[in-house]
Chain A
């Protein structure tokens, strides 16, 4: 042991919500209609976002498409199990760029409860942001400098609008 290694190992993001819709409808709106509810400002495209698409099969693409027809990959489908569950790879790295060698996991399950649906959301493996930043920037110390500075800038922008 020389220098102690420190890792960014955040807890998964977990959300549970109850939706007044059937399991089938909740799953369909989440997957087939993502473009209707996705925040338009959360886009990597130059052009305004027209839609967000998930190809309905394991291995399918998860991507956005702009008003000008341009496409931007975000990740891919890891598990397609309608109307119960979908698992997506979110492949946007700490610089908000699509990186095919990077993935974090988004898993959403839909459970019928009477006429409503319990939607359980999880975005996990977030520690990979730390690992990837380390790989890309050649070490934890420099990674912290560059990464935190850039993130704080983005953060301030959001905080000021809030």
Chain B
């Protein structure tokens, strides 16, 4: 699942994003803050990473996750989705006969 909208539709993933927006954290730190198991947090992070909403880096033996500032931030995603819909509507209008 690489769709950021789908990635964020799950409330726990939206909460992970909010936590990481405050500061970068490792899986264990996130799991301690959230009402889900550590493997579940890892799974959610995998989805968020595939959607390019978060990135990770190695720090000693752990992986620290943060918001991906160079990736597909929410505003870019909103605009991307907006233009997809708008351009599809434009194409349909342009292909109408008799203008």
Contact = CB atoms under 8 A, between A and B. Distances in A.
A116 to B, nearest CB: 10
B87 A119 contact: yes
Most chain A beta-carbon neighbours within 10 Å: one of B4, B17, B74, B81? B74
Given A10-B71, A152-B74, A39 B87 contact: no
Interface string B56-99: 00000000000101111111111111111111011111110001
5 pairs of A and B residues whose beta carbons are closest in the complex: A37-B89, A10-B76, A151-B74, A159-B9, A148-B21
Given A10-B72, A126-B75, 15 more contacts: A9-B69, A11-B72, A13-B79, A15-B84, A29-B90, A38-B89, A39-B89, A119-B87, A119-B91, A144-B21, A145-B21, A151-B78, A155-B77, A158-B78, A162-B6
17 contacts: A17-B91, A19-B95, A21-B94, A21-B95, A25-B94, A25-B99, A30-B90, A38-B86, A117-B94, A119-B87, A123-B79, A129-B75, A148-B18, A151-B73, A151-B78, A156-B14, A158-B78
